[in-house]
């Protein structure tokens, strides 16, 4: 067990920090400190390309696909420096952290060579077509259908809560390809270009006032037969593997950004005197502890061991609920530190400062990627071996 | 950077886990509890002499194995998992105080005997030292009734007190696996340590991590035993572990435990590496582990129903040790208040 970094790793840190510093105080200075997921999309698209050009976009990937074969320590370091530099949220988070690793795991050589480099270069942005009006937690209930027509798949149906679809080039769609099938059987994992007449994207306004997610309609949408990941009927396994990435350390970079959020809360508390309130001090200390432990929890997962008893990787199942709950509490702490001032925006548009927005936005963290309740079911069943939840319909 | 056990650490973990599972059984712990000393002397001998667990983190020149806080935490976690009735913590406090702040002569005289388990150590705060003599009363001395040598942090200095120089009275203690004693020192002769401040700082830091590791093991045991019970116990025609209210509580216990595991080994590793955040890590581990253990032990009683409230069931052993782990060497609130200061809440805006 060793937490310190080697001189080579520290050299890597210096290199990453210097590059980020140069970009974000030079050509991309306007993006520094942006935390909104929808702000400045064109500039952030340019930023994705810049990252890709300099091969900082997907450093953990193999070099052949535009990565750097970076070690886990280097990935941690880059995520830390990215946050420290105040770099903006990745517009292609879903491509880089979810689609990419899933294509690496399930794609044919042809698919990897065709689909991965444009993600690494920041040229093709992705979004996630899982949820539907009647398939949320119960994802296996999807009704969107797809069938073969000549050299294409044709897709018919509706997805909902599709984050960032308005900026994306591709969407991965979990669709039913065996007519009459139910539940996890008969599903396929299709990769569909968004810019075509059969796909319509309509933004949905959220409690923040902003519209990050959308309804996505498929009305005779088409994609080439080659754009299926895994075999027809194997969609559930692929979809679950992707969720494994989503609930695991994919959010490392995002969590490193949480440091900036907690620092902002601490600054606000010192500025308005809340830092003298013993109860606020307790909550800030709790937040600090939780933040540090996200880092060490991630390091444990990345190190492959569990730093403790089990050694079966079950600990990783606790990660999503841990960071989601932590951030929601941070949002509550933030607004309590601000007091009424936090409930008042400064423009005519509905919208608030960073910490008030955090209070609102963090309600979503415990919902997307599997709600806290679903995470508890998963932990109870997969890690602790307790009986599975009964279904009300297909048994 | 590699945040997982080395092969050697994994082997130590394996060894101590099976050692405590075989030796620190509920029967033997309960026998030790009956004596009011909370001390299983035979277990202590084998832990110290056969496995060398007491001297694990002691420099080799003093009869130890020269290992670090990570290995010590592994041992404390395994002992905690069995709520073993052993003066491991109290001895570690005395040992660490001597290593950090004792004179060369004091270290040479006492450490080998403490390492071998021949002598038991403990630590207390209170009293007043004046002209080489200790006056007053020192409360809350863990495993004090079986200790031979005390490090006392008193007004006027930090000193070594030997058992026969003062009156030691066992206290009826809620946690009988680590009972307290009271020392009345009516002018007992003591030997001052060379550097008292350093001794206390080092001892308490080690103590925080040891208590956190004990709590981690205990909390994990609460979870494991309650999961087993939830799979067996049937009500309304189904295992109670199939009720979501119960599944979710057990899941929450695991979430807290896994964070606590990160905290304990972060704190231990940071201490061994002398990392800049080592102090913050130790406070974090102690605060979180105490809360986690109390949460898990409380749930253990609740999820067992009536049987969990009996003396016969082991749930209360964990519940009481959890309370003691939380209050000994600073409550979670105190540790968090230290963290609040460390993150700069008192500095100018
Ligand atoms: C900001 C945001 C972004 C999102 N982005 C995307 C995206 O990009 N792509 C995408 O596909 N989806 C996305 N989602 C959707 C998200 O994955 C779903 O909202 C989530 O899985 C829950 O599904 P649901 O909304 O249908 O709620 P439901 O499943 O209807 O849940 C309602 C309530 O019931 C509880 N519940 C349901 N089942 C159980 C059970 N078995 N046991 C106990 N409690 C249960 C839930 O925990 C919840 O509290 C996003 C959601 C949000 C909020």
B residues 306..345 contacting A (CB < 8 A): 333, 336-337, 339-340, 343-345
A185: domain CATH number is 2.40.110.10
Burial class, A279, CB count within 10 angstroms (exposed 0-12 / middle 13-18 / buried 19+): exposed
Q: In the structure, what pLDDT confidence band is assigned to residue A254 with cuts at 50, 70 and 90?
A: confident
Q: Are residues A276 and A372 in the same domain?
A: yes
What is the predicted pLDDT for the residue at B250? 98
Q: Are residues A255 and A227 in the same domain?
A: no
Specify the 3-state DSSP secondary structure of B124: strand
If you take atom 2 of ligand 1, which residue's CA is the nearest one?
Answer: A368
Instruction: Determine contact: B261 vs chain A, CB below 8 A.
Output: yes
Instruction: Determine contact: A267 vs chain B, CB below 8 A.
Output: yes
Radius of gyration of chain A (CA): 21
CA dihedral angle for residue B61, residue B65, residue B67, residue B70, rounded to 10 degrees: -140
Using an 8 Å Cβ cutoff, are A327 and A334 in contact? Answer: no
CA-to-CA separations, A121 to A18, A39, A52, A100, A237, in angstroms, rounded: 20, 21, 4, 12, 28
What is the predicted pLDDT for the residue at A324? 96
* pLDDT higher than threshold 70 for residue B69: yes
Closest chain A residue to B260 measured between Cα atoms? Answer: A293
What is the predicted pLDDT for the residue at A251? 73
In a domain, A38, yes or no: yes
In a domain, A105, yes or no: no
In a domain, A112, yes or no: no
Domain that holds residue A318: 247-383
Instruction: Take residue B198 and report the two structure tokens written for it.
Output: 């350093």
List the one residue out of B102, B306, B335, B298 whose CA is nearest residue B207. Answer: B335
More confident residue, B349 or B113: B113
In a domain, A315, yes or no: yes
Q: Are residues A254 and A328 in the same domain?
A: yes
**Which chain A positions have a beta carbon within 8 Å of B258's beta carbon?**
297, 315, 318, 322
Q: Are residues A344 and A261 in the same domain?
A: yes
Burial class, B249, CB count within 10 angstroms (exposed 0-12 / middle 13-18 / buried 19+): buried
What is the predicted pLDDT for the residue at A313? 67
In a domain, A237, yes or no: no
Q: Are residues A131 and A76 in the same domain?
A: no
- Interface touch A281/B231, C-beta < 8 Å: no
**Which of A70-79, A181-190, B156-165, B242-251 shows the lowest mean pLDDT across its residues?**
A70-79
Burial class, A131, CB count within 10 angstroms (exposed 0-12 / middle 13-18 / buried 19+): buried
Using an 8 Å Cβ cutoff, are B92 and B189 in contact? Answer: no
Q: In this structure, what are the phi and psi dihedrals at residue B190, rounded to the nearest 5 degrees? A: -130, 165
A72 vs B23: CA distance, rounded Å: 40
DSSP symbol at B2 = B
By DSSP bridging, strand A214-224 and strand A145-149 are unpaired
Catalytic residue among A80, A97, A246, A261: A246
Domain count, chain A: 3
- The gap between the terminal CA atoms of chain B, to the nearest Å, is 35
Q: Are residues A33 and A84 in the same domain?
A: yes
Q: Are residues A356 and A260 in the same domain?
A: yes
Q: Looking at chain B, which runs of residues are DSSP E strands?
A: 121-130, 133-142, 149-155, 157-162, 167-170, 180-189, 191-192, 234-235, 238-239
Q: In the structure, what pLDDT confidence band is assigned to residue A309 with cuts at 50, 70 and 90?
A: very low
Neighbours of B2 (CB within 10 A): 16
- Interface touch B3/A3, C-beta < 8 Å: yes
Mean pLDDT in residue range A371-392: 96
Neighbours of B112 (CB within 10 A): 17
Q: Are residues A178 and A271 in the same domain?
A: no
B289 vs A289: CA distance, rounded Å: 11
- Interface touch B265/A307, C-beta < 8 Å: yes
B195 vs B98: CA distance, rounded Å: 9
What is the predicted pLDDT for the residue at A316? 86
* pLDDT higher than threshold 80 for residue A308: no
A83: domain CATH number is 1.10.540.10
Task: Chain B: give the shortest CA distance to residue A285, in Å.
Answer: 5
**Which of A44-58, B55-69, B221-235 shows the lowest mean pLDDT across its residues?**
B55-69
List the one residue out of B219, B336, B92 whose CA is nearest residue A308. Answer: B219
How large a percentage of chain A has pLDDT more than 90? 87
Q: Using alpha carbons only, what angle is made at residue B270 by residues B269 and B271, rounded to the nearest 5 degrees? A: 90
Task: Chain B: give the shortest CA distance to residue A193, in Å.
Answer: 39
Using an 8 Å Cβ cutoff, are B252 and B258 in contact? Answer: no
Q: Which residues are B66's β-sheet partners?
A: none
A364 vs A208: CA distance, rounded Å: 10
CA-to-CA separations, B233 to A366, A382, B230, in angstroms, rounded: 31, 20, 6
List the one residue out of B201, B305, B292 whose CA is nearest residue B253. Answer: B292
Whether the model pTM is above 0.90? yes
* pLDDT higher than threshold 80 for residue A8: yes
Which residue among A2, A305, A387 sits closest to B239, beta carbon to beta carbon?
A: A387
Closest ligand 1 atom to Cα of A159: 11
> Among the three residues A204, A232, A260, which one is the final residue of a domain in this structure?
A232
Q: Are residues A259 and A341 in the same domain?
A: yes
By DSSP bridging, strand B121-130 and strand B149-155 are parallel
Sign for the CA dihedral angle at A159, A163, A164, A169 comes to negative
Task: Chain A: give the shortest CA distance to residue B164, in Å.
Answer: 41
More confident residue, A304 or A70: A70
Q: Are residues A328 and A222 in the same domain?
A: no
**Which of A311-320, A385-394, B60-69 shows the lowest mean pLDDT across its residues?**
A311-320
DSSP symbol at B117 = T
Mean pLDDT in residue range B280-306: 98
Q: In the structure, what pLDDT confidence band is assigned to residue A92 with cuts at 50, 70 and 90?
A: very high
Instruction: Take residue A47 and report the two structure tokens written for it.
Output: 């930023």
B4 vs A2: CA distance, rounded Å: 8
Task: Chain A: give the shortest CA distance to residue B189, in Å.
Answer: 42
In a domain, A100, yes or no: no
A246 in catalytic set: yes
* pLDDT higher than threshold 70 for residue A311: no
Tell me, letter by letter, the H, E, C secondary structure of chain A: CECCCCHHHHHHHHHHHHHHHHHHHCCCHHHCCCCCCCCCHHHHHHHHHHHHHCCCCCCCCCHHHCCCCCCHHHHHHHHHHHHHCCCCCCCCHHHHHHHHHHHHHHCCHHHHHHHHHHHHCCCCCEEEECCECCECCCHHHCCCEEEEECCEEEEEEEEECCCCHHHCCEEEEEEECCCCCCCCCCEEEEEEECCCCCEEEEECCCCCCCCCCEEEEEEEEEEECCCEECCCCCHHHHHHHHHHHHHCHHHHHHHHHHHHHHHHHHHHHHHHCHHHCHHHHHHHHHHHHHHHHHHHHHHHHHCCCCCCCCCCCHHHHHHHHHHHHHHHHHHHHHHHHHHHHHHCCCCCCCCCCHHHHHHHHHHHHCCCCCCHHHHHHHHHHHHCCCCCCCCCCCC
Q: Using alpha carbons only, what angle is made at residue B111 by residues B40 and B274, rounded to the nearest 5 degrees? A: 100
Neighbours of B310 (CB within 10 A): 12
A residues 2..61 contacting B (CB < 8 A): 2-6, 9
What is the predicted pLDDT for the residue at A151? 96
Mean pLDDT in residue range A261-266: 97
Q: Which of the listed residues A138, A192, A321, A367 should we mutate to test ligand 1's pocket, taking the one with most ligand atoms within 8 A of CB? A: A367
Closest chain A residue to B69 measured between Cα atoms? Answer: A1
Which residues, 6 or more positions from B103, have their beta carbon under 8 angstroms from its beta carbon?
A: B193, B194
**Which of A139-143, A245-249, B256-260 shows the lowest mean pLDDT across its residues?**
A245-249
A258 vs A326: CA distance, rounded Å: 10
If you take atom 35 of ligand 1, which residue's CA is the nearest one?
Answer: A373
Q: In the structure, what pLDDT confidence band is assigned to residue A271 with cuts at 50, 70 and 90?
A: very high
Using an 8 Å Cβ cutoff, are B122 and B329 in contact? Answer: no
What is the predicted pLDDT for the residue at A305? 57
In a domain, A180, yes or no: yes
Interface confidence, given as ipTM, is 0.96
Q: Are residues A168 and A251 in the same domain?
A: no
Per-residue pLDDT tens digits for A227-237: 999 999 999 99
Q: Which CATH superfamily is domain B198-348 in?
A: Butyryl-CoA Dehydrogenase, subunit A, domain 3 (1.20.140.10)
* pLDDT higher than threshold 50 for residue A90: yes
Q: Which residues line ligand 1 (CB under 6 A)?
A: A 127-131, 136-137, 161-163, 213, 364, 367-368, 371, 373-374, 377, 389
List the one residue out of B214, B211, B215, B158 whose CA is nearest residue B329. Answer: B211
B residues 212..241 contacting A (CB < 8 A): 216, 220, 223, 227, 230-231, 238-239, 241
What is the predicted pLDDT for the residue at A307? 43
CA-to-CA separations, A298 to A105, A292, A347, A369, B41, in angstroms, rounded: 21, 10, 39, 17, 41
The ranges assigned to domains in chain B are: 198-348
Q: Are residues A318 and A371 in the same domain?
A: yes
């Amino acid at each position: 067990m060793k937490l310190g970094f080697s001189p080579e790793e520290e050299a890597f840190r210096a290199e990453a920090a210097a590059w980020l510093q140069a970009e974000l105080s030079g050509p991309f200075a306007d993006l520094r400190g942006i935390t909104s997921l929808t702000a400045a999309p064109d500039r952030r698209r340019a930023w994705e390309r810049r990252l890709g050009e300099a091969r900082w976009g997907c450093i953990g990937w193999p070099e052949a696909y535009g990565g750097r074969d970076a070690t886990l320590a280097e990935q941690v370091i880059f995520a830390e420096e990215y946050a420290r530099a105040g770099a903006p949220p990745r517009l292609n988070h879903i491509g880089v952290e979810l689609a990419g690793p899933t294509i690496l795991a399930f794609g044919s050589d042809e698919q990897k060579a065709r689909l991965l480099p444009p993600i690494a270069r920041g040229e093709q942005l992705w979004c996630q077509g899982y949820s539907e009006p009647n398939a949320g937690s119960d994802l296996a209930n999807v009704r969107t259908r797809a069938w073969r027509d000549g050299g294409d798949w044709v897709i018919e149906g509706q997805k909902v809560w599709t984050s960032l679809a308005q900026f994306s080039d591709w969407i991965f769609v979990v669709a039913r390809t065996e007519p009459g099938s139910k539940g996890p059987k008969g599903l396929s994992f299709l990769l569909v270009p968004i810019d075509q007449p059969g796909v319509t994207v309509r933004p949905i306004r959220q409690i923040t006032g902003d519209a990050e997610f959308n309804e996505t309609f498929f009305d005779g949408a088409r994609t080439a037969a080659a754009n299926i990941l895994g075999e027809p009927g194997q969609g559930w396994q692929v979809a679950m593997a992707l969720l494994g990435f989503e609930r695991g350390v994919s959010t490392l970079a995002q969590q490193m950004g949480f440091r900036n959020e907690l620092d902002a809360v601490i600054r606000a508390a010192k500025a308005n005197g809340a830092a003298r309130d013993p109860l606020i001090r307790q909550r800030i200390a709790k937040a600090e502890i939780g933040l540090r432990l996200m880092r060490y929890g991630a390091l444990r997962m990345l190190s492959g061991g569990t730093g403790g008893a089990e050694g079966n990787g079950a600990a990783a199942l606790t990660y999503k609920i841990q960071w989601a709950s932590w951030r929601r509490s941070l949002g509550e702490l933030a607004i309590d530190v601000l007091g009424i001032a936090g409930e008042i925006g400064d423009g005519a548009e509905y919208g608030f400062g960073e910490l008030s927005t955090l209070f609102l936005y963090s309600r979503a963290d415990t919902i997307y990627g599997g709600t806290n309740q679903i995470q508890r079911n998963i932990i109870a069943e997969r890690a602790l071996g307790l009986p599975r939840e009964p279904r009300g319909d297909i048994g | 950077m590699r945040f997982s056990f080395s092969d050697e650490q994994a082997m130590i973990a394996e060894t101590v886990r099976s050692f405590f599972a075989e030796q620190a059984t509920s029967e033997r712990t309960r026998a030790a509890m009956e004596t009011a000393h909370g001390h299983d002397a035979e277990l202590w001998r084998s832990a110290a002499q056969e496995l060398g667990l007491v001297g694990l983190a002691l420099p080799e020149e003093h009869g130890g194995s020269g290992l670090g806080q990570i290995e010590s935490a592994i041992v404390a976690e395994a002992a905690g998992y069995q709520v073993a009735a052993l003066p491991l913590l109290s001895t570690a406090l005395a040992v660490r105080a001597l290593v950090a702040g004792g004179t060369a002569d004091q270290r040479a005289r006492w450490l080998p005997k403490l390492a071998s388990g021949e002598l038991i150590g403990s630590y207390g705060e209170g009293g007043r030292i004046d002209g080489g003599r200790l006056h007053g009363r020192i409360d809350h001395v863990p495993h004090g009734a079986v200790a031979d040598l005390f490090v006392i942090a008193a007004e006027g200095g930090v000193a070594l007190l030997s058992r026969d120089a003062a009156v030691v009275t066992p206290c009826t203690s809620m946690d009988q696996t680590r009972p307290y004693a009271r020392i009345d020192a009516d002018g007992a002769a003591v030997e001052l340590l060379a550097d008292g401040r350093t001794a206390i700082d080092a001892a308490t830091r080690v103590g925080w991590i040891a208590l956190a590791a004990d709590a981690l093991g205990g909390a994990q045991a609460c979870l494991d035993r309650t999961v087993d019970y939830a799979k067996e116990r049937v009500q309304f025609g189904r295992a109670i572990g199939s009720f979501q209210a119960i599944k979710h509580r057990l899941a929450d216990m695991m979430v807290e435990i896994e964070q606590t595991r990160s905290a304990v080994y972060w704190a231990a590793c940071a201490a061994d590496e002398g990392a800049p955040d080592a102090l913050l890590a130790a406070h974090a581990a102690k605060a979180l582990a105490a809360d986690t253990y109390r949460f898990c032990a409380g749930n253990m009683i609740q999820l067992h129903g009536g049987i969990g409230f009996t003396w016969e069931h082991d749930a209360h052993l964990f519940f009481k040790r959890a309370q003691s782990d939380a209050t000994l060497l600073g409550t979670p609130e105190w540790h968090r208040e230290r963290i609040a200061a460390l993150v700069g809440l008192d500095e100018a805006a």
